[in-house]
Amino acid sequence: MFIIVLMEAAVNFTVPTYIQIVQGRTPFDTSLAMLPFNLTVFVTATLIVKFYAKFSPRVIALFAFTVTTAALVWLAIVVTNNWESLPTIIGLIAFGVGQGALVTLVFNVLVTAAPKSLAGDVGSIRGTTQNLASAVGTAVMGAVLVTTLGFGVMNAVEEHPELPKELVAQVDLDNVNFVSNDDLREVLADTTATPDQVAAAVEVNEEQRLRTLKLGFLMLAGLSAIAAIPASRLPKYRPEGVGEDEDDDAAR
């Protein structure tokens, strides 16, 4: 449960950060970009219970983690500076399918594995775990992305002779963060940078931002793949009680 919510929080942090800060777009644009993912999570979490009668929790979990891993790898490959591209939307939808299935599945397994008298405790622990995972996912993903971006920018600057050390010394590379191209141009306007040097710096910024984003998705994909290991220990049979209420309603 912790890993599942952590991954969702990381994606919910990464995508809006990139759209609003890097691309300089409005919160409404961000909402539209995230709508396919969040809507898919909601729909899948609602409909996944219909598969409990046919497939065991282990099968569903392993399939869902396979989908989330594949979706994150796909996003790392196809993601560009345009979040409205069809391949990116497909990747977000696929990730939402896996996430929605996992959240509902794991909670139901936890509830059915505990005595009914402890159902309240299970719900409380689940809520605490989700809140902690959401906070940790956001904080860790932010730190990882900023650190990766900082190293990438410093290495890229050294490989670009058109960006001399005299110019680099006028910019605080010890505090690199995600900035839009316009904001970067404003910062460089207060330096001795020539138009050609400004263009080179903007190109470096664009390349490293996108590279950092891709690496972030790949790291999440690795985490998703690792999470499939404990998921393989979920029950191979349908937990007692899951789906029985639906069967009873159908019989009546």
Residue 115: pLDDT band (50, 70, 90) is confident
Instruction: State residue 72's pLDDT score.
Output: 94
Q: Which of 133, 111, 107, 132 is nearest to 120 (CA)?
A: 111
Q: How many domains are contained in the chain?
A: 2
- Are 87 and 56 members of one domain? yes
- Are 86 and 9 members of one domain? yes
Q: Which of 104, 96, 2, 93 is nearest to 45 (CA)?
A: 104
- Are 19 and 117 members of one domain? yes
The more confidently predicted of residues 93 and 170 is: 93
- Are 111 and 31 members of one domain? yes
- Are 24 and 79 members of one domain? yes
Residue 217 has pLDDT above 60, yes or no: yes
> Residue 230 and residue 56: Cα distance in Å, rounded?
15
Could you count the other beta carbons within 10 Å of the beta carbon of residue 230?
11
Residue 157 belongs to a domain: yes
Tens digit of each residue's pLDDT (9 = 90 or more) over 46-86: 898 888 888 888 999 999 999 999 999 999 998 876 666 78
Residue 157 has pLDDT above 80, yes or no: no
CATH of the domain at 107: 1.20.1250.20
- Are 117 and 197 members of one domain? no
- Are 153 and 103 members of one domain? no
Residue 214 belongs to a domain: no
Counting residues of the chain whose pLDDT is more than 70, the rounded percentage is 88
**How much is the average pLDDT of 204-208?**
82
Residue 95 belongs to a domain: yes
Residue 175 belongs to a domain: yes
Residue 243 belongs to a domain: no
- Are 120 and 15 members of one domain? yes
- Are 168 and 203 members of one domain? yes
Residue 63 belongs to a domain: yes
Structure tokens at 193: 């940078």
Structure tokens at 161: 């002779």
Residue 95 structural domain: 2-135+220-238
Q: Is the C-alpha dihedral spanning 123, 129, 135, 141 positive or negative?
A: negative
**How much is the average pLDDT of 103-128?**
83
Instruction: State residue 209's pLDDT score.
Output: 83
Residue 143 belongs to a domain: no
**Predicted structure pTM score:** 0.81
Tens digit of each residue's pLDDT (9 = 90 or more) over 164-182: 777 766 676 556 677 777 7
Residue 31 has pLDDT above 70, yes or no: yes
As a three-state string, the secondary structure of the chain is CHHHHHHHHHHHHHHHHHHHHHCCCCHHHHHHHHHHHHHHHHHHHHHHHHHCCCCCHHHHHHHHHHHHHHHHHHHHHHCCCCCCCHHHHHHHHHHHHHHHHHHHHHHHHHHHHCCHHHHHHHHHHHHHHHHHHHHHHHHHHHHHHHHHHHHHHHHHHHCCCCCCHHHHCCCCHHHCCCCCHHHHHHHHHCCCCCHHHHHHHHHHHHHHHHHHHHHHHHHHHHHHHHHHHHHCCCCCCCCCCCCHHHHHHHHC
- Are 125 and 173 members of one domain? no
Counting other chains too, the contacts that 193-200 makes at CB distance below 8 Å and 24 or more residues apart are: 193/167, 196/162, 197/162, 197/163, 197/164, 197/167, 200/160, 200/162, 200/163
